[in-house]
Chain A
Amino acid sequence: MTRFGEDWSRGFRDLILEAGVRALEDCGLSGSEIEALYCGTMASGALVGQEHAGALIADFMGLTPIPSTRLEAACASGGVALRQAYVTVASGVHDIVVVGGVEKMTDVPTAEASYALGGAGDQEWELFMGATFPGLYALMARRHMLDYGTTQEQMAAVAVKNHANAAKNKYAQFQNEITIETVMKSKSVASPLKVFDCSPITDGAAVVVLAPLEKAKKICEQPIEIVASEQASDSIALHDRESLTKIKATEIAAKKAFERAKLAPKDIHVAEVHDCFTIAEIMAIEDLGFVKKGMGGKATEDGLTRIGGQVAINTSGGLKGCGHPVGATGVKQAVEITWQLRGKAEGRQVKGAEIGLAHNVGGSGATAVVSIFRKVW
């Protein structure tokens, strides 16, 4: 993957190309072995005026004429691309498949980027009415506070932990630790959410290579098996959901993924979850089954999700600390889990990590992808 951040020196194609070269070098492939490419990008049209990203990426990576397809599922574009590649390899249609995720977000003013991201919700019945994404997650946060007693300090604890992890990740956008006070004193964006409850606008790309397990073992010394990758959908608008205090699509995708993998939440050593806002991580660890519903805030405050805790959550720094180039995030999560399971996560390594999970959400929860990974050497 590329370093995540505000990167004025590089454009859309530079980012994905750099991540692609690094991924191919890592597994020692020349490129001629690759049979197909999937790439997640959410809003390249609105952000850089470029559609048809599949062909563009194949072209500039020197991979034409292989089939190359762009997938879009808002902030879950990367996770959906990963799952699509997994399905393709598992089906036997293609063997060696490259999965990329990329978003170039800082070529436009913040207001334009926010408008483009707004498209992840219901344009006619949320955005038209004046909704923003922080606003939608604030509506969830308010309900979570009422129903479960979650506090603003507990939400702040998510940001503090993720910044601490990001400070140990040289690919992360933010390299500084923060305190509860930093979050609590930051400006209100959509009450009760403040600036430091929100993930940033980021440029970045990430790439992984998938192959059937037996082939992967020949190509690579430390292959990681995807034991499950499941996806679920829900209403596009938040107001049509059964509940505001959970992401039902996450619950469904997680249940299916654990069933397929024949594993349970307690078996997971390390997880990258979708913390676009601090409340989103609290809901995610509940919906994934790591803690009981309503206990996400307290678990975070008590340190259960820190590195060395019950289950290490967002060792990369998550979307909050590592940054959130929307289309890249789902693939970056797979990269971080791979590094963790290979023991290559440097200062943020989870000791003895053998099983990991990635959780990627689109919009306010209309798409969720949950994938489970295992060390197999």
Chain B
Amino acid sequence: MEESLAITWRRIPERYRLLGTRCITCNGNYFPPRKICPKCRRKGKIENVQFTGKGKIYSFTTIFAPPSGFELEAPYVFAIVELDEGVRVTAQLVDCREEDVKIGSIVRMVFRRIAEDSDEGLLHYGFKFALVR
């Protein structure tokens, strides 16, 4: 399924450099950005925060049956990463095999091509993670 240009454009700060938000009332970090702190609601005060992209593996799998658009990538290692700031994100792991990965492995964000819509279509970029060896 092709993603519209407007969606891609709207998501650039988050997808390209992990720009999230923080609630200064409760110190909660959020990614993707939230406009309302789910803990403090109206008492919350939200500001932008740039995450460092450092984190560790919270859980992982290898996807052998990919969704459309990811056929050329499969099989790929896929994970939930817990960033040092405490938030968790879902992303692919690059340049590794499942045997190399453990829950707790240290990773850092890398900027990569995520998917392409078609031969002539948009190229979508965003974050993936790589093991820090």
Task: Point out residues on A near B: beta carbons under 8 Å.
Answer: 111-112, 114-115, 118, 124-132, 134-135, 138-140, 142-143, 146, 187-193, 237-240, 244
Contact = CB atoms under 8 A, between A and B. Distances in A.
Interface in B36-64: 58-64
Q: Which 3 A/B pairs are nearest by Cβ-Cβ distance?
A: A138-B61, A239-B88, A139-B59
B60 A139 contact: yes
B90 A125 contact: yes
Given A124-B7, A131-B90, A238-B90, 16 more contacts: A114-B67, A114-B68, A115-B68, A118-B67, A130-B73, A138-B61, A139-B60, A139-B78, A143-B58, A143-B59, A143-B103, A189-B64, A190-B63, A190-B64, A190-B78, A191-B64
Contacts of A187: 64
B84 interface: no
Contacts of B7: 124
A139 B61 contact: yes
A96 B11 CA distance: 48
Q: How large is the interface on B (under 10, 10 to 19, 20 to 34, 35 or more residues)?
A: 20 to 34
A134 B78 contact: no
Given A138-B61, A139-B61, A129 B90 contact: yes
Contacts of B3: 128
A132 B59 contact: no
B124 interface: yes
A244 B64 contact: no
A74 B32 CA distance: 22
Contacts of A118: 67
B111 interface: no
Contacts of B67: 111, 114-115, 118, 127, 130-132
Nearest to B68: A111
A127 to B, nearest CB: 7
A191 B75 CA distance: 10
B65 interface: yes
Given A125-B32, A135-B78, A143-B103, A130 B61 contact: no
A124 B32 contact: yes
B89 A125 contact: yes
Interface in B61-119: 61-68, 70, 73, 76, 78-80, 88-92, 98, 103, 114-115
18 contacts: A112-B68, A115-B67, A115-B68, A127-B67, A130-B114, A131-B63, A132-B63, A134-B63, A135-B78, A139-B59, A139-B60, A139-B61, A143-B103, A189-B64, A190-B61, A190-B65, A192-B61, A238-B90
Main secondary structure of the interface of B (DSSP, over half): strand
Contacts of A130: 63, 66-67, 70, 73, 76, 78, 92, 114-115
Contacts of A112: 68
B1 interface: yes
Nearest to B76: A130
Given A130-B70, A190-B63, A244 B80 contact: yes
Given A115-B1, A191-B98, A238-B90, A244 B59 contact: yes
A131 B78 contact: yes
A151 B60 CA distance: 16
Given A143-B59, A146-B103, A239-B80, A134 B90 contact: no
Contacts of B62: 188, 190-191
Nearest to B65: A189
B80 A129 contact: no
Contacts of B124: 128
A128 B114 contact: yes
Nearest to A110: B65
Contacts of A125: 32, 89-90
A38 B3 CA distance: 33
Nearest to B69: A130
Contacts of B103: 142-143, 146
Contacts of A128: 3, 114-115, 124, 126
B114 A124 contact: no
B62 to A, nearest CB: 5
B3 to A, nearest CB: 7
Contact of B114 (A129, A140, A142): A129
A238 B80 contact: yes
Contact of A135 (B1, B61, B115): B61
A94 B65 CA distance: 46
B26 to A, nearest CB: 16
A142 B32 contact: no
A204 B126 CA distance: 39
Nearest to A143: B59
B80 A139 contact: yes
